[in-house]
Structure 1
Amino acid sequence: MKTRLFWVRHGPTHAKGLVGWADLPADLSDTARIARLDAHLPRQALLVSSDLSRAAATADTLAADRTRLPHDPALRELHFGDWDLKAPEDIKDQSRYQAFWDHPGEVRPPSGETWPELAARVDAATDALIATHPGADLVIVAHLGVILTQLQRALALTATEAFSHSIAPLSVTELHHTPTGWHVSGINHVP
């Protein structure tokens, strides 16, 4: 049975620093773009989002004909801990910051989480959605890191390879889960 997952990145925040668990609003003023996104997504899909307001509000704009599932905190962005909302140049330990990006998974942001911890959290949430709603179309509004973990899983990429993919705000990355595994139908599609 095929389950289609339409991963939507929330609307832009225009923040200049790292944005993890900080609850910033999304800019949803581009109503024409949101209308194109809405038209691109399946009408009868189930809709779920991260509990952070930028994802939840984006999902709310897409909810008209879709069944809304409760917000899921397991779909939150990577927890940057003490680095949250800081511009890269304002992070005091530059060697640690650089190592975080150069060697994903080996370095933890202070008071945050590692890439493998994020991936495990999102994998479990995704697996639960698929198990609970087999064969459904799922629109999942989440964050850059969250979507990259699922692209990493579907394509069997390293974290570094996953980081090389661009996922624009209000874009769709479509993944299919079947009994034979994962299939990628589209990455970073901007309707």
Structure 2
Amino acid sequence: MSNPAKPAVASSGVVATRWWWVRHAPVREDNGCIYGQKDLGCDTGDGVVFAAVGKILPRNAVWVASNLKRTHQTADAIWAAGFPKPARMPHVAAFAEQHLGEWQGMNRAAFLASLPLGSHWFAPIDVPAPGGESFMDLYNRVRGAIERINTEHAGKDVIAVAHGGTIKAAIGLALGNLPEKCLAFDIDNCSVTRLDHLASHGHSSWRLPMINQQPWIADASHAAMHQPAGPEVVPATKLA
């Protein structure tokens, strides 16, 4: 395994920049409504989840987050669970969730129930929310920020704490600039998605090692498998 503090350069001359996307913790104060870019807080009370997330994230990484506080609270919870806090974590406004305009504040379940069967998002990718953005607007700003960070931090690990729509946009870029395909992916709260950018001699591509990983589930399964067996309960008929 390469040292994440140094640029990851393969023998072939390929520079790998590894993105570790973490979706923010659950929002409980939305009252069941669409919130988009509303700056709501999140629930960081489950320390087991954040400890598990921290176990799979690389040390000595570059940290970034969106400009919305729920991503900052999520990062704080990961550090509070034992992950070494970085010296800085720039806030990147381009990584904010899609601005859903007049849809923000509407009942989410009712809105989603009104969509055509098989819809994966609030609207087709090129249709803007009234007074807000389209998914393509989100995609283009996320893509621009990723390309800038790939240049500035080539060969490093980048931990980006962001939002479901933002991470889907990053997946669309990694799929080969196919934003219409990324909306079919689920991105759960606190999940980790890893996307590797590979660059060499004027060429670049992406590798998708891990999407929507929920490490606390694996931890819970491992713990259950290794619980010591309790005392045998012998039926009364055997004691007679």
With structure 1 as the length reference, what TM-score do the two structures score?
A: 0.89
What does residue 73 of structure 2 align with?
Answer: 57
Q: Tell me, what secondary structure is at the counterpart of 1:167? A: coil
CA contact (8 A) 1:100 1:106 kept: no
Offset, 1:156: 3.3
Query: Among 141, 148, 160, which residue is 2:161 paired with?
Result: 141
CA contact (8 A) 2:192 2:211 kept: yes
Query: Superposition pairs for residues 35-184 of structure 1, below 5 Å?
Result: 35-63=51-79, 64-88=84-108, 101=121, 104-156=124-176, 158-179=178-199, 180-184=204-208
Larger Rg: 2
CA contact (8 A) 1:103 1:160 kept: no
Q: Tell me, what secondary structure is at the counterpart of 2:144? A: helix
Q: Does residue 186 of the first structure (1) align with residue 210 of the second (2)?
A: yes
State which drifts further: 141-150 or 173-182.
Answer: 173-182
What does residue 9 of structure 1 align with?
Answer: 23
CA contact (8 A) 1:47 1:67 kept: no
Uncovered stretches (5+) of structure 1, i.e. residues with no partner: none
Encode CA deviations 1:70-116: one digit per residue, 9 max, x unaligned.
1111110000011113214666xx679x9894862231111110111
Uncovered stretches (5+) of structure 2, i.e. residues with no partner: 1-14, 216-240
% identical aligned pairs: 33
Pick closer, same or farther for the CA change 1:66–1:159 going to 2, 3 Å. Answer: same
Pick closer, same or farther for the CA change 1:174–1:121 going to 2, 3 Å. Answer: same
RMSD between superposed Cα atoms in Å: 2.3
Greater relative CO (CA pairs within 8 A, separation 6+): 1
State which drifts further: 122-131 or 160-169.
Answer: 160-169
Offset, 1:60: 2.4
Q: Distance in 2 between matches of 1:49 and 1:155?
A: 22
Aligned amino acid, residue 66 of structure 1: P
Q: Tell me, what secondary structure is at the counterpart of 1:153? A: helix
Query: Among 24, 27, 30, which residue is 2:46 paired with?
Result: 30
Aligned amino acid, residue 146 of structure 2: T
Q: Distance in 2 between matches of 1:104 and 1:140?
A: 26
With structure 2 as the length reference, what TM-score do the two structures score?
A: 0.72
State which drifts further: 57-66 or 17-26.
Answer: 57-66
Pick closer, same or farther for the CA change 1:99–1:188 going to 2, 3 Å. Answer: closer
The aligned length equals 188
Pick closer, same or farther for the CA change 1:45–1:89 going to 2, 3 Å. Answer: closer
